[in-house]
Structure 1
Amino acid sequence: MEQLLEYFGVLTGLLYLLLEIRQHRAMWVVGFLTSLVYVFVFFFSKIYADMGLNIYYVAISIYGFWQWTRKKAINEEKTNQNAPANEAILYRNMTSPLFAGIALAILAIYALLYYILHNFTDSPIPAGDAFTTAVGIVATWMLARRIIEHWIFWIIVNCVSVYLYYLRGLYPTMFLYICYAILAAVGLYTWKKKGIKTNDSTL
């Protein structure tokens, strides 16, 4: 049963990332299903912070879908009149103050998670688990706000995750995260090449 859940998560995870690159709102629905599955996969593998991260993903998938739906009218105004609105890729860059806030948030979340994992669980990889979870929490929020630098965060997280899942014997998930790392680089390129930069902080 665990292995079936893992393979299902791999398939929906790949679909999620392809939809994310295209900024299709359906990504949030697929992401909801993927995250729900991985809550159980990581629980059985004792990767507790990543399990908690996927609970967070379930919640933020609802927020992300609402956020992107709420901005649909604004997106339509910024899209070429001859192109369907849902094909526009809008993004904004991270400012220096925002970067400072994000760095502090990652550090605080990491410290808290490491303390909990190291002292109160039997996690075999508390440092790595805390790191990928802390950065993943912040990167997902950045995605919901269409901040393009979230792709760089995901490249780092995915590369570290490949090693962690190798250690835990989660080979299908390890393969998924190799694909995630590659497609995150593709996503960064696609957003820069085809996207429309905006300074709209409400995105």
Structure 2
Amino acid sequence: MTVLFTVWGYDVTAIEFASVILAFLAIALGIAGNRWTWPPYFLSSLLYSWLFIEFHLFASAAMQLIFMAAAVWGWFSWGREGARVPGRLVTALRVRGIVGVLLLWVLLAPLLQSIGGAATWGDAFMLVGSVAAQLLMVLQKVEAWPVWIVVNTVGAVLYASQGLYFTSLFYAVLILMAVTGWRAWSARAANPAPAVTIS
């Protein structure tokens, strides 16, 4: 892979750098509830899938394919007006969601280990947790953001352990962005206002 620059001995590739910049743009637009969150999200996921395959993080690579599908779904689901008033899950659905994520995580990690995956427990959690958060995001549920906080925390540790320091730093910043998103969507759920739109 082409190295774009080196920081403290770490080579940042063009793919990793572009993925991070596109993802920052997508998440900032997502916090605002803007429909244009989805195209850069799609492109960032496409590039990250390539990067993760190179590092044998197979679940993280598969996760990007799900993100690309979610980006297409989100584009059409949100429509021109962007995210409407965010909703909240009832308690029973929250509990079922947590149980489902934990069950799938425990089932997926040994499978990844059997095919030679790296850091399989963290990688499996990233896939399952991210799918849950992404689904909640497309469905415009406030709970997407606290789930992203957990997922991004795991991601920051996982990718640092695999030598992807730029991506690890990116995930650390994503924790703060997810906190911002949680506050913004919670406020909009409590006090509905029109979403930001761009024609």
User: C-alpha separation between the residues in 1 aligned to 2:147 and 2:24?
Assistant: 18
User: C-alpha separation between the residues in 2 aligned to 1:111 and 1:163?
Assistant: 19
Assess if the C-alpha contact under 8 Å between 1:105 and 1:138 holds in 2. no
Match of 2:19 in 1: 9
**Residues 1:149 and 2:159 are matched in the alignment:** no
**Residues 1:180 and 2:174 are matched in the alignment:** yes
Matching of residues 1-203 of structure 1 within 5 Å: 1=1, 3-69=13-79, 86=82, 90-121=85-116, 123-196=117-190
Q: What displacement does 1:55 show?
A: 0.8
Over aligned residues, Cα RMSD in angstroms? 1.8
* 1:62-93 CA distance string (max 9 Å, x none): 11111111xx5xxxxxxxxxxxx55x751111
> Larger deviation: 152-161 or 111-120?
111-120
Between Structure 1 and Structure 2, the one with more helix by share is: 1
Question: Taking structure 1 as the reference length, what is the TM-score of the superposition?
Answer: 0.83
Partner SS, residue 89 of structure 2 = coil
Question: Taking structure 2 as the reference length, what is the TM-score of the superposition?
Answer: 0.85
Any runs of at least 4 consecutive aligned residues in structure 1 with deviations exceeding 3 A, and if so which?
A: 194-198
Partner SS, residue 142 of structure 2 = coil
The sequence identity of aligned pairs, in percent, is 25
Aligned length: 182
Structure 2, gaps ≥5 residues long: 3-12, 193-199
Q: What displacement does 1:51 show?
A: 0.5
Q: What displacement does 1:104 show?
A: 3.2
User: C-alpha separation between the residues in 1 aligned to 2:66 and 2:107?
Assistant: 16
Q: What displacement does 1:165 show?
A: 0.8
Q: What displacement does 1:195 show?
A: 4.1
Structure 1, gaps ≥5 residues long: 73-84, 199-203
